Amino acid sequence: MSTSTPQDSWQNPWHDAWLPDAAFRPLGSRRVLVALGPDAGPVADTVVAEVRRATRLFGGSFTVSTPQERADGEHDLTLELGDAPQVGPDGFVLGRRDGRAYVRAGTAAGLLHGLHALVRRGEDAWGADDDEVVDVPASSLRMLDHWDNVDVHPVMGQVERGYAGGSLWFEAGRVREDLTRVAAYARLLGSVGINAVSLNNVNVHRTEARLLTDGLPDVARLADVFRPHGVRTYLSVSFAAPMTLGGLPTSDPLDADVQRWWAEAADRVWAAVPDFGGFVVKADSEGQPGPFAYGRDHADGANLLARAVAPHGGTVFWRAFVYNHTQDWRDRSTDRARAAYDHFQPLDGRFDDNVVVQVKHGPLDFQTREAVSPVIGAMPRTRVAVELQVTQEYTGHQKHVCYLGPWWSEILRFPLTQNATRTVGQIVTGLPGPADADDPDGPEAAPRRAGGVVAVSNVGDDAFWTGHPLAQANLYAFARLAWDPESDPVALLDEWIGLTFPGADPHVAATLHRLMDGSWRTYEAYTAPLGVGFMVTPGSHYGPSVDGYEYSPWGTYHFADRDGIGVDRTRATGTGYTGQYEAPWRDVYEDVATCPDELLLFFHHVPWEHRLQSGTTVVQHVYDSRADAVDEVERMVAAWADLAGLVDDALHARVTERLAEQLRSATEWRDQVRTYVFRKSGVPDASGRRIY
């Protein structure tokens, strides 16, 4: 039985995540040549620092030279910054020839990514000569949004929807003095290719707004910490800033003073942070100010900011999460799922080139299961980014094991545009797809539209970074999928396990895989059924409350009655939402016979005894799947208990505590949903299992 404390087994008071020293052993025991040009910059310094650290730890050696000197001496690995036009600004070439490994890149960021790719390969990188790998990220923008508040918000706390303690950089109204931990975070992000972070909550409160003015020196300090890892900083800004910060009487995007105010604000920001990325904006959404107040639309609003940042090469990420959150539940004609498309699709072609419309992956709000948002495929003349949610707002608050890689992979691989020819991943990254030949703007148009892959981060100042230690895998998988949306999420899980638990007993790796691989589907199976969503406790969004949002202004209903359940979003009899999709999805979803089971209640209101494609009835599916899922959580608890002594004690204890809560909560979900369905429908559970 291991008796180590975190402080004994980790180098720092926080967990090493996927960069424990042991993962660097294969590299650190070799002779490494780092061939850089003069003044290669801060990211190149990070490459050198990584090699220095690894070789010191494991007895290897390293030399730093210019490319001309590289032939001197015997080396096992050359990391070379040079001419590599085929890999673009972030990619690298990795190979092995004549018994030596090499990484080549055209930029320091590419070299850093190549170095970490080598680390991920472990000893395999040092085997027989191998075919050269050219690895270029699909997306040039791989971004994490942090919903961190500068001040502790009375309801949302320091991090909105944060389940891992406080903010890594804000504390009690200011940016922390000591940014050592931020540097460790930046190192983690750089190692998996994240290249952009937005520092503050999209709900911009008064103190956050000040980051644009007197907070700029602090923003610059943070940018200095992220820069050496190839990560640019962004800020969320309030559309009302010209009034709240500038004292102007209006924020009207067509007002000349407002335009001047934003231009000057941008000048100040770029003077403080010359490689600043740009702004993220939540406007006319859940109470945030926006252009509607002046009778303007979202293109007017976004272009206002875009023109202010354009001279600096900046980008505006304008969120499409716009809907009426003061709806009357009696109003059956308003469908929240329609809102983003109705607001944004008509604006296609009106956004400036440096605007990215950032679209949540589903039309509602990061539910455990939703249809893919049709907006992503409906704006061919606009740069579009997809927004995923790594923080587990609706997927168990980092108290439940819920590995989201498979969910994101399904989303990114979903073929969305006409005749299902272009996937979400291809649309947002600009990767070539089969639709290119038919593109109304010509086959070269796709890359111009690529906005990137964005997610809401799940980290905090918790010792394990993510509250639940196994939630680190979600951060890891997001980054790797942003790099390559075609990656296999199961392989990414194993990659994460191998790095985070290096040299562990094979039983440990097998158990972790077994616990996590199917965990999203298990979570789905004990929570809201068949895509209906939102049966969560209002406000917190944790735990069951089947009717919690049923009579609320938020527009999230399931319409269960004694006869059936689900939301009719068809063109024939419902809200018409299916009409927002291109073929074939507009017809696949319209027809109850072809609608996939897992989305049935998202698109249709059906009788309780409607038969699913799986052969069972809706009501019996609800009964069975909830009960089976809790049985699975019980098995997860037992499997984890078996690892005591085989993994770090502190980590084992934390996961044990979280699994106990997961079992309690899953049981509550099971019993409330099953009982609710029985009381509404009156249909008994054919399996005879207990209903309350």
550 is catalytic: no
**Contact in structure between 490 and 407 (CB atoms under 8 Å):** no
Cα dihedral 389, 392, 393, 394, rounded to 10, equals 100
Selected from 10, 62, 92, 147, the binder of ligand GCV by CB under 6 A is: 147
Residue 534 near ligand GCV by CB under 6 A: no
Least separation in angstroms between residue 541's CB and ligand GCV is: 6
Selected from 15, 25, 161, 397, the binder of ligand GCV by CB under 6 A is: 161
Selected from 169, 261, 317, 321, the binder of ligand GCV by CB under 6 A is: 321
Least separation in angstroms between residue 507's CB and ligand GCV is: 39
**Contact in structure between 401 and 519 (CB atoms under 8 Å):** yes
Residue 160 near ligand GCV by CB under 6 A: yes
**Contact in structure between 581 and 558 (CB atoms under 8 Å):** no
365 is catalytic: yes
Single out the catalytic residue among 8, 45, 257, 286: 286
Binding residues for ligand GCV, total number by CB under 6 A:
10
Residues near 498 by beta carbon (within 8 Å), at least 6 away in sequence? 122, 509
User: What DSSP character marks residue 284?
Assistant: S
Residue 338 near ligand GCV by CB under 6 A: no
Single out the catalytic residue among 145, 218, 365, 495: 365
H-assigned helices in 484-617: 489-500, 506-516, 519-526, 585-590, 600-603
Residue 670 near ligand GCV by CB under 6 A: no
Single out the catalytic residue among 393, 461, 590, 598: 393
> Strand ranges (DSSP E) for 107-191?
130-135, 142-145, 148-153, 157-159, 170-171, 174-175
Residue 116 near ligand GCV by CB under 6 A: no
Residue 370 near ligand GCV by CB under 6 A: no
Cα–Cα distance, 336 to 456 (Å, whole number)? 21
Kindly state the helix (H) or strand (E) to which residue 662 belongs, with its residue range. Answer: helix 649-681
323 versus 581: smaller Cβ distance to ligand GCV? 323
Least separation in angstroms between residue 321's CB and ligand GCV is: 5
163 versus 321: smaller Cβ distance to ligand GCV? 321
50 versus 208: smaller Cβ distance to ligand GCV? 208
DSSP-based three-state secondary structure for 163: coil
Subset of residues 284 to 313 that bind ligand GCV, contact rule: CB under 6 A: 286
Diameter over CA atoms, the chain:
82
**Contact in structure between 534 and 549 (CB atoms under 8 Å):** yes
Subset of residues 170 to 209 that bind ligand GCV, contact rule: CB under 6 A: 202-203
257 versus 286: smaller Cβ distance to ligand GCV? 286
**Token reading at 25:** 């052993």
Say how many C-beta atoms besides its own lie within 10 A of residue 313's C-beta.
13
393 is catalytic: yes
Least separation in angstroms between residue 523's CB and ligand GCV is: 18
Residues near 332 by beta carbon (within 8 Å), at least 6 away in sequence? none
Residue 365 near ligand GCV by CB under 6 A: yes
Residue 282 near ligand GCV by CB under 6 A: yes
Residues in contact with ligand GCV by CB under 6 A are: 147, 160-161, 202-203, 282, 286, 321, 365, 393
* Residues labelled catalytic: 286, 365, 393
